[in-house]
Amino acid sequence: METKLLRDTTEDITTASQIIRDGGIVAMPTETVYGLAANALDGNAVRKIFKAKGRPMDNPLIVHVSSVKMAEDLHLYKEFTKDAKALAEKFWPGPLTIILPKGDCIPDEVSAGLSTVAVRCPSHKVAQKLIELSGKPLAAPSANISGKPSPTKFQHCVNDLMGRADAIIDGGECAVGVESTVVTLATNPPRLLRPGGVTVEQLESVLGKVEIDDAVLDKLKENEVASSPGMKYKHYAPSAQVYLVKGREFVKFVNRVSDSTTAVVCFDEDKSRINSVTYPIGSRNDYFSHAHKIFDVLRQIDKNENIKKVFAPLPRVEGVSLAVYNRLIRASAFRIINADAYVVGLTGPTGAGKSTVARVFEKNGYHIVDTDKIARKAVEKGSPLLKRIAKAFGEDVINDDGTLNRKLLAKRAFETRGKTEILNSITHPYIYEKALLEIEEYSNKGCDKFILDAPVLFESGGEKYCKKTVAVISSLEKRIERIIKRDNLTHKEAMRRINAQHSDDYYTDRADLVLYNNGEQRELENEIIRLINGEL
């Protein structure tokens, strides 16, 4: 299909309006995001939108009008209620979509078989003019291919829809940048289904209490039916893994954990203090700028194939930021990290008594994040990590019953240093991701101090997640004694294991603090309490 690229002149918009009247589809700018429009009263035309976007047919579309009067005259709603009118008077034209039981003129393609219809009146002058010149209400979802971020620039539409739409009109950058607020008045009390440019606070000033649908802030639970069908689909997420980072120490945290494959979405003020590639979204308190820029930034990040990890500041859950939060929390698959958590890395050679030390910290209010435990869980039957390990080391490292053949894996992975590194490059990032999420989980439960218990803390680069590191060291005799007892080994076997490890210097050179554990429990406890009250 040939796609006409049009400008925002009267002549070009007239051309677009003729395409609409002829049953074609046109990408048009609105103040929120670009929409892919067709005559809403023509089921065949509307079907073309679903095809062009690759959109599931059970996800209904928003009908765009140029005025309240148009919605009334056409009887788009069964009844344009008093509340709806009050909202429309206050917020139309503008970024608000109102859902009510639908009028008879609405084709099933638009409402996707629901008994309600979503209507909005955009304020962008090109959208207004296109509706007026075509004389039709326009059904229009966001003009992206399904699964991509909504387009906020002409070029985004060109990238997605060249050859798929009859025309694309260049109307510049969309002012708001996130899709409209969607509120349903078909429930009592009214309910917010999607946050956008019109805030909950503004809605409540007209309607009184507005409920916020669960899917706005949280993941849909399994088997839960979405109030808005759009919420059940996998939302846009870049191919890189996005993490939302909360806390005052955002910059320090991202600088500690970033590498050459990291991108950071940040406020303009922080840009110069961040060491990795940055994508600024405006000044810290310019919430409208964050909304305006976020989709463009996500598209830019997706274009850079080097980027594997993205950190972005966690938006507030109020005002227009709620909309940014809602989009980003999905893009990040609900991963939030707490930059302010006080994490102490604990390491040391085998048999030095690390676990005993960890337990003393635990008694003193620290939550223990046990990387060995995470590692064991990571290779349990059915874990996604197992598949990646099997791909790298051969399918036969998985037993017939789906469990890991540890012996065979160890044989292959520890054959050469290169192979060990491959295994580590698969397991370490996974383990630390789980560790950070565990820290977040316990931060939310009120814990603010953590021990990251990691035998290979330094070898795996884990110290970057820690504010301080502690090495536990013990005399050789004590270590041999402990290993023999713990693992039921002979003296020779215990020695062999010790000799395969780093010397004490390796740990003491790197750690901020060193604990000598010579088996005197009281002494050890006192020493740890001294550290907690002093250097830690």
Give residues in contact with Mg ion (CB under 5 A): 142
Q: Which stretch binds ligand TXA (CB under 6 A): 6-14, 117-125, 263-271, 403-411?
A: 117-125
Instruction: Choose the contact partner of 451 out of Mg ion, ligand TXA, none; CB within 5 to 8 A by kind.
Output: none
Q: Which stretch binds ligand TXA (CB under 6 A): 114-122, 309-317, 487-495, 526-534?
A: 114-122
CB of 239 to ligand TXA, least distance (A): 21
CB of 150 to Mg ion, least distance (A): 5
Two tokens, residue 444: 């939310």
Question: From CA 444, how far away is CA 428, in angstroms rounded?
Answer: 24
CB of 224 to Mg ion, least distance (A): 20
Q: Which stretch binds ligand TXA (CB under 6 A): 56-64, 368-376, 395-403, 427-435?
A: 56-64
Question: From CA 141, how far away is CA 62, in angstroms rounded?
Answer: 6
Residue 123 in contact with ligand TXA, rule: CB under 6 A: no
Q: Which is nearer to Mg ion, 128 or 142 (CB)?
A: 142
Residue 179 in contact with ligand TXA, rule: CB under 6 A: yes
- Cβ count within 10 A of residue 171: 24
Name the CA radius of gyration of the chain, rounded.
29
Query: HEC profile for 279-336?
Result: EECCCCCCHHHHHHHHHHHHHHHHHCCCCCEEEEECCCCCCCHHHHHHHHHHHCCCCE
Residue 27 in contact with ligand TXA, rule: CB under 6 A: no
Q: Which is nearer to ligand TXA, 113 or 402 (CB)?
A: 113
Q: Which is nearer to Mg ion, 46 or 274 (CB)?
A: 46
- Residue 378: alpha-carbon gap to chain centroid: 22
Among 182, 254, 404, 439, binds ligand TXA (CB under 6 A): 182
255-262 contacts, C-beta under 8 A, 24 or more apart: 256/464, 256/465, 257/311, 257/464, 257/465, 258/309, 258/311, 260/306, 261/306, 261/307, 261/308, 261/309, 262/307, 262/308, 262/309, 262/310, 262/311
Answer for the pair 283, 268: CB distance below 8 angstroms, yes or no.
Answer: yes
Question: From CA 303, how far away is CA 105, in angstroms rounded?
Answer: 42
Residue 109 in contact with ligand TXA, rule: CB under 6 A: no
Query: Coil, strand, or helix at residue 513?
Result: strand
Q: Which residues pair with 265 in a beta bridge?
A: 279
Tell me the CA distances in angstroms from 157 to 18, 21, 53, 161, 290, one per residue in order.
20, 21, 11, 6, 21
Q: Which stretch binds ligand TXA (CB under 6 A): 225-233, 278-286, 324-332, 505-513?
A: 225-233
Using CB under 6 A as the binding criterion, the count of chain residues that bind ligand TXA stands at 26
Q: Which stretch binds ligand TXA (CB under 6 A): 9-17, 31-39, 83-91, 263-271?
A: 31-39
Binding mask 137-176 for ligand TXA (x = CB under 6 A): ---xxx----------------------------------
Question: From CA 481, how far away is CA 104, in angstroms rounded?
Answer: 83
Question: From CA 176, how far away is CA 367, in angstroms rounded?
Answer: 42
Going across the sheet that includes 342-347, the strands are 367-370, 449-453, 342-347, 468-473, 513-516
Question: From CA 440, how far away is CA 424, in angstroms rounded?
Answer: 24
Among 16, 41, 45, 62, binds ligand TXA (CB under 6 A): 62
Answer for the pair 199, 293: CB distance below 8 angstroms, yes or no.
Answer: no
Question: From CA 493, how far away is CA 484, in angstroms rounded?
Answer: 8
CB of 78 to Mg ion, least distance (A): 25
Q: Which is nearer to ligand TXA, 141 or 351 (CB)?
A: 141
Instruction: Point out the residue whose Cβ comes nearest to ligand TXA.
Output: 230
Q: Which stretch binds ligand TXA (CB under 6 A): 108-116, 310-318, 472-480, 486-494?
A: 108-116
Residue 230 in contact with ligand TXA, rule: CB under 6 A: yes
CB of 282 to Mg ion, least distance (A): 23
Instruction: Choose the contact partner of 39 out of ligand TXA, Mg ion, none; CB within 5 to 8 A by kind.
Output: none
Answer for the pair 536, 493: CB distance below 8 angstroms, yes or no.
Answer: no
Answer for the pair 258, 264: CB distance below 8 angstroms, yes or no.
Answer: yes
Binding mask 437-476 for ligand TXA (x = CB under 6 A): ----------------------------------------
Helices 354-363 and 521-533 cross at an angle (nearest 10°) of: 60
Q: Can you list the positions of beta strands (E) in 29-82?
A: 35-39, 62-64
Question: From CA 167, how far away is CA 18, in angstroms rounded?
Answer: 11
CB of 143 to Mg ion, least distance (A): 9
CB of 369 to ligand TXA, least distance (A): 37
Binding mask 280-319 for ligand TXA (x = CB under 6 A): ----------------------------------------
Q: Which is nearer to ligand TXA, 195 or 315 (CB)?
A: 195
Instruction: Choose the contact partner of 30 out of Mg ion, ligand TXA, none; CB within 5 to 8 A by kind.
Output: ligand TXA
CB of 94 to ligand TXA, least distance (A): 10
Residue 94 in contact with ligand TXA, rule: CB under 6 A: no
Residue type for position 249: E
Helices 287-303 and 154-161 cross at an angle (nearest 10°) of: 40
CB of 18 to Mg ion, least distance (A): 26
Residue 35 in contact with ligand TXA, rule: CB under 6 A: yes
Answer for the pair 236, 331: CB distance below 8 angstroms, yes or no.
Answer: yes
Residue 100 in contact with ligand TXA, rule: CB under 6 A: no
Residues 479-518 that bind ligand TXA (CB under 6 A): none
Q: Which stretch binds ligand TXA (CB under 6 A): 28-36, 286-294, 328-336, 482-490?
A: 28-36
Interacting residues toward ligand TXA by CB under 6 A: 30, 32-33, 35, 59-62, 97, 99, 111, 114, 116-118, 120, 140-142, 179-180, 182, 193, 228-230
